[in-house]
């Protein structure tokens, strides 16, 4: 069995372009009913924290396994990451564990890639302005992925409650993407007149949402990585389409108290990727796509990391 530490996974350095392509194919397979992925069960040991088990099998990729992942929003006070966990890959023909790997990098990258896949089908592809609310890990990977899928992006309006976080984000992402990144002082400044919106704060059971419907320009595409933490009732109800990466999982979270303002789910992203439902149908539609995070995303990313690690002699072989 191959053990891949966080440093090992980072050293493999799977390109974002490859992750986006893999997730696009995985969503198509999901839309065709060719994956196995039960709703993720979880335990909750602290307010607004979670520890989830995320199993999935994607036969066309030869990928099967489970991610055991946690998210603790107060970890920053202990200088620890918000997201932590391990991922186990199994041989789909024998069930034998192939690899155990850290999942921090995988979770960060595949979440950005999922936003890019959603944008491919739901955004205006000539969009040039993006508002990013939350200048942490997801604010970075979502921008990286969107820049790949939407080459005309040129301006970023970045907002964070921490000025230091916003400054660090702007400096790093200017250098990485070459985009014009402006720090703004309010959520409204980040949202108004933006073609694309990414909200990437912590997931909160009792949030204090800010974004109003009348802040959203016609044709906007919004990706709330943090569930409904930023968007008010008027924003959810006013948009023409609400899409999610998994209908059943979204309804489950609704039963737990999230997404209370969602009355209709237009489509599962897999349905759109597979062509059974249209995505964006005109330039003026305001569309929100809530990617809740799927185990298929993790497995198709992890199997590519595993194969590249084996090819490049990265990691440590352990006996079971």
Active site residues: 67
Q: Which sign does the torsion angle of CA 164, 165, 166, 170 carry?
A: positive
Q: Is there a contact between 151 and 177 (Cβ–Cβ < 8 Å)?
A: no
Question: Strands 97-102, 2-4: parallel, antiparallel or unpaired by DSSP?
Answer: parallel
Q: Measured in whole angstroms, how far is the alpha carbon of residue 67 from the centre of its chain?
A: 15
**Position of tokens 């023409």?**
240
What's the CA gap between 320 and 303, in Å, rounded?
Answer: 19
Q: Please count the CA atoms within 13 angstroms of the CA of 92 that sit on its side-chain side.
A: 15
Q: Is there a contact between 150 and 120 (Cβ–Cβ < 8 Å)?
A: no
Could you tell me the two tokens for 26?
Answer: 């995985």
What's the CA gap between 113 and 71, in Å, rounded?
Answer: 19
First vs last Cα of the chain: how many Å apart? 7
SS3 149: helix
Alpha-helical (H) ranges within the chain are: 6-12, 16-31, 104-122, 137-149, 163-177, 187-191, 233-238, 247-255, 269-273, 295-311
Strand-pairing partners, residue 42, are: 52
What are the DSSP calls for 27-84, one per residue? Answer: HHHHHTT--B-PPPPEE-SSTT-EEEEEEEEEGGGTEEEEEEEEE-TTGGGGT--SEE
């Amino acid at each position: 069995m191959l053990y891949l530490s966080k440093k090992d996974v980072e050293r493999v350095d799977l390109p974002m372009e490859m992750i986006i392509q893999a997730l696009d194919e995985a969503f198509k397979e999901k839309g065709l009913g060719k994956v196995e992925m039960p709703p993720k069960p979880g335990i909750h040991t602290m307010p607004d924290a979670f520890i989830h088990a995320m199993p999935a099998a994607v036969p066309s990729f030869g990928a099967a396994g489970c991610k055991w992942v946690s998210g603790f929003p107060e970890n920053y006070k202990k200088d620890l990451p918000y997201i932590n966990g391990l991922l186990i890959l199994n041989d789909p023909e024998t069930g034998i564990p192939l690899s155990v790997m850290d999942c921090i990098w995988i979770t960060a990258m595949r979440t950005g890639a999922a936003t890019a896949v959603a944008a491919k089908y739901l955004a205006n592809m000539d969009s040039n302005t993006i508002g990013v609310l939350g200048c942490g890990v997801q604010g970075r990977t979502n921008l990286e992925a969107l820049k790949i899928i939407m080459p005309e992006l040129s301006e970023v309006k970045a907002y964070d409650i921490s000025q230091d976080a916003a400054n660090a984000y702007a400096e790093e992402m200017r250098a990485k993407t070459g985009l014009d990144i402006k720090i703004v002082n309010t959520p409204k400044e980040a949202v108004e007149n933006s073609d694309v919106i990414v909200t990437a704060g912590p997931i909160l059971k009792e949030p204090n949402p800010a974004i109003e419907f009348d802040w959203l320009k016609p044709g906007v595409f919004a990706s709330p990585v943090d569930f409904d933490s930023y968007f008010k009732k008027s924003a959810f109800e006013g948009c023409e389409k609400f899409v999610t990466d998994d209908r059943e999982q979204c309804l489950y979270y609704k039963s737990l108290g999230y997404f209370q303002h969602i009355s209709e789910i237009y489509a599962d992203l897999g349905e759109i990727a597979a062509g059974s439902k249209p995505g964006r149908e005109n330039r003026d539609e305001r569309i929100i796509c809530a990617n809740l995070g799927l185990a298929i995303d993790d497995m198709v990313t992890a199997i590519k990391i595993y194969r590249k690690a084996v090819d490049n002699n990265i990691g440590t072989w352990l006996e079971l």
